[in-house]
Amino acid sequence: MKILFIGDIVGRPGRKIIKKFLPKLKSEFEIDYVIANYENAAHGFGITPKIFNELKNAGIDIFTGGNHTFDRKKDAVLLLNENKILRPLNYFEAPGKWYYEDENIIVISAMGVFSMPYGKNPFIELKNFVENKNKFIFIDFHAEATAEKRVLFHLLKGKAGAIIGTHTHIGTDDLEINEGTCYLTDIGLTGCGDNVIGMDVQGPLVSELTGLKERFDVPDKCKSIMQCLIIESDGRFSKRAFKLKIIDEEIIKTQEVSYGN
């Protein structure tokens, strides 16, 4: 089984590069499941039905969320009736599901604690949930604190098939497979790669200089980047994984690890 994961899709530039390259990647690497984080897909904040269908038609199978899932609340509630679009488990009685399961895979959407909406403790919830599961468990852990991501990895290694971090939009170089669990602190954004975490530089710049909140916008023109991770599984755990970056239409393999060879 082969899984391709795309991190935070930020606005139109992220959607555009996915539509251009995802079909090629799926075919070339014979991908079985494409999982992607949607929470910034609609101009950086949430998702709409139109954008959901756009990304679904581009080849994404299962969608994971984050702290911006409910930014467009009416759209989110409508979409979360779909069983392949998830909201984080942390929300108490919010609409929708936080995991997707079929005969081969369980995909989980979860958030960290620090600087995230108040909710259920993800460490306790996930520790209890993964016990005695006999499928490949993929967790998108959407967290601000890198330490929280490492804690979850050590808590669940040898139990989950993959724990991949999202949210910071900055890719890390610590890809590893330990006891069959693939781990990466943050996969990085897919969208504008030459501004500030996918957003036009002017808003963050004014905010930092004045201390006042400014509107963050996704630029219309920018140098786009697509970052994704491909995981090869034996059905229960990860055996091989490699990260790809697409910059200026060049596909670059930046990290690769294997386990059990």
Catalytic residues: 68
Dist. CA 241–CA 259, nearest whole Å = 9
- Select from 175, 188, 136, 173 the least CA-distant residue to 2: 136
151 φ/ψ angles, rounded to the nearest 5 degrees: -60, -45
Residue 203 DSSP label? H
Q: Cβ neighbours of residue 199 under 8 Å, at least 6 residues apart?
A: 10, 44, 192, 216, 217, 218, 219
- Select from 62, 55, 68 the least CA-distant residue to 116: 68
DSSP three-state, residue 133: coil
